[in-house]
């Protein structure tokens, strides 16, 4: 299906007899739907052993450096790259990051209405209770976003060779289709978001090839080698605790009012105490 803003009004590039297959309004509606989905959270059963494992696993996750790339990022009250002076948690469409040039352009641009090339901003407060719950909240001018990603490209393959390394891919889809760069392959991927991690249904890692969380952890090489070696050096109990923490990162059932719930879907106060350390084992 060809979008108006990419292929132009009344165009039929695939020759199927249909024009304007995806309107600007269609893509705006889908973008807003995705942006306003309920925020993923954590499911932590009311079991003392599982609660302890989650506390220690999260601490280990930070201590061995996983959070260097799988980071919680702040949105500030006075910095919005597209709407100067507005809080960072105000989402707007079209995005200022829509590429105007390059292999993935054109996209709708922010500006005076010039359909379908540009449009004025449509804004949404992502902390609003009018949106599906749960939502992130602002505290002291910050909204901390536990997406567990730095949104940067990293090479965590063992060899950085797209021709032989199973963690790479034979085509670089960031390059123009059919170009030498396209066929050169790619070993760099954006750090996978970990919120909602355990709902991936046994399709873990950027390529979805792994069926367990432990396999995904053990496949970290390249830029993440030191973190993976630190994981390997942990006692088995602490390795299991870290995996238990990852298992808690889930898309919550519809209607959840809290970002942390128990196995029955009831809101859960978390963490129960501020002092969590792997030394507690």
Which regions in the chain score pLDDT beneath 50?
A: 276
* Predicted pLDDT of residue 140: 93
Q: What is the DSSP string of 226-241?
A: HHHHHHHTS-HHHHHH
Both tokens of residue 107?
């996209």
Say if residues 78 and 141 touch (Cβ distance below 8 Å): yes
* Predicted pLDDT of residue 131: 96
* Predicted pLDDT of residue 182: 95
Reported as a single tens digit per residue, the pLDDT across 79-103 is: 887 778 889 999 989 888 888 887 6
Say if residues 18 and 2 touch (Cβ distance below 8 Å): no
Say what the pTM is.
Answer: 0.87
**Spatial distance between the Cα atoms of 171 and 187, rounded to a whole number of angstroms:** 10
**Spatial distance between the Cα atoms of 240 and 246, rounded to a whole number of angstroms:** 10
* Predicted pLDDT of residue 135: 97
* Predicted pLDDT of residue 134: 96
């Amino acid at each position: 299906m060809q979008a108006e803003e990419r292929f132009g009004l009344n165009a039929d590039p695939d020759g199927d007899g249909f024009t304007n297959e995806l309107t600007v309004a269609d893509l705006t509606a889908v973008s807003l739907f995705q942006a306003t989905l309920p925020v993923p959270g954590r499911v932590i059963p009311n079991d003392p052993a599982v609660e302890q494992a989650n506390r220690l696993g999260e601490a280990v996750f930070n201590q061995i450096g996983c959070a260097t790339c799988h980071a919680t990022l702040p949105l500030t009250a006075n910095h919005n790259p597209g709407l100067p002076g507005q809080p960072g948690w105000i989402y707007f469409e079209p995005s200022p990051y829509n590429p105007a040039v390059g292999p993935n352009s054109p996209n709708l641009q922010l500006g005076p209405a010039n359909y379908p090339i540009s449009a004025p901003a449509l804004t949404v407060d992502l902390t609003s209770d009018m949106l599906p719950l749960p939502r992130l909240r602002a505290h002291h001018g910050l909204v901390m976003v536990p997406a567990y990603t730095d949104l940067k490209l990293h090479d965590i393959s063992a060899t950085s060779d797209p021709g032989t390394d199973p963690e790479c891919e034979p085509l670089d889809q960031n390059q123009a289709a059919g170009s030498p760069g396209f066929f050169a392959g790619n070993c760099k991927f954006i750090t996978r978001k970990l919120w909602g991690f355990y709902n991936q249904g046994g399709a873990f890692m950027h390529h979805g090839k792994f069926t367990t969380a432990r396999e995904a952890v053990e496949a970290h090489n390249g830029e993440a080698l030191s973190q993976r070696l630190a994981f390997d050096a942990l006692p088995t109990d602490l390795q299991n605790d870290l995996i238990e923490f990852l298992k808690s990162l889930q898309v919550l059932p519809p209607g959840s009012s809290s970002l942390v719930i128990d196995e029955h879907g009831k809101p859960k106060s978390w963490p129960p105490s501020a002092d969590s350390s792997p030394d507690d084992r």
